[in-house]
Chain A
């Protein structure tokens, strides 16, 4: 299984709502990532988990709260978002880097988020 799944595919939420994005992989990868992508722009890294521990937070506002309950799952909890947070949210996974070697990242199809 070389697939990363993300749910939901689409999400519309108000600024006072609380919602969660979910990501799952069964490739045995021990690194998982959240990216944000605005239209016609490249993906921008938000968070990196390595061995279920948060290793990189790219100064993301606290209204985004990541969680890695186990090695296969990655969540992104959303609260009090702003309209400018509307974007495609991509999850990815990979093997952690070892001995200077880097590995490809496998991306999910993304969740299209609209904040009203």
Chain B
């Protein structure tokens, strides 16, 4: 079963606006990760937030984590056309040494010039 569910499924905004994507999950986690995927290509890791962290920043990215609500959000500020991609959250359901990432359904973000 899917661990992460994301909303919205698709988001279209104007360049320069902020984009917010949300992710919900069902079980306890060690961390939650966000990845970006350009059309038909490999995924690129954006940011990792640990279960004992509430907020994390990286450049124009801001991630929050609410473990009581089992939810996370990704904010991209001052969006650019190059930010057009699919964004996935992923939680680790693995044990011991092996990661077992379970991805959410993803949000398709379109930045209009």
Q: B31, B41, B94 — which one has the most chain A CB atoms within 10 A of its CB?
A: B94
Interface centre among B2, B45, B94, B98 (most CB of A within 10 A): B98
Asked if B18 CB lies within 8 Å of chain A CBs, one says no
Indicate if A69 sits at the interface (CB-CB under 8 A).
no
Chain A contacts for B106, CB-based, 8 A: 42
* Chain B interface size range: 20 to 34
Contacting residue for A104 out of B48, B96, B97, B100, CB 8 A: B48
Chain A residues with CB below 8 A from B97, complex form = 31, 50-51, 55, 96-98
CB distance from B24 to the nearest CB of A (A): 14
- The segment out of A59-67, A75-83, A106-114 that lies at the interface is A106-114
**Is B102 among interface residues, defined by CB-CB distance under 8 A?**
yes
Tell me whether B103 and A48 are in contact (CB under 8 A).
no
Instruction: Say whether B30 contacts A48, CB under 8 Å.
Output: no
Q: How many Å lie between the Cα of A90 and that of B102 in the bound state?
A: 14
Name B1-54 residues within 8 Å CB distance of A: 2, 30-31, 33, 35, 40-45, 48, 50
Distance, CA A108 to CA B105, complexed state (A): 20
Q: Any chain B CB within 8 A of the CB of A56? A: yes
Q: Are B100 and A48 in contact (CB under 8 A)?
A: yes
Categorize the interface residue count of chain A. Answer: 20 to 34
- Are the C-beta atoms of B45 and A104 separated by less than 8 Å? yes
Asked if B92 is at the interface of the complex by the 8 Å CB criterion, the answer is yes
Contact A103 B99 (CB under 8 A): yes
CB distance from B71 to the nearest CB of A (A): 17
- Contact at A102–B99, with CB atoms within 8 Å? yes
Most chain B CB inside 10 Å of its own CB: which residue of A44, A55, A100: A55
Question: Bound state CA distance, A33 and B43, in angstroms?
Answer: 13
In the bound complex, residues from chain A placing their C-beta under 8 Å from that of B94 are 48, 56, 97
Smallest CB–CB gap between A54 and chain B, Å? 10
- 7 A-B residue pairings within 8 Å (CB atoms): A31-B99, A44-B103, A48-B98, A48-B100, A92-B43, A104-B33, A107-B45
Give the top 10 A-B pairs by smallest Cβ distance, nearest first. Answer: A42-B103, A107-B42, A104-B45, A55-B98, A96-B97, A107-B43, A109-B42, A48-B98, A102-B31, A50-B98
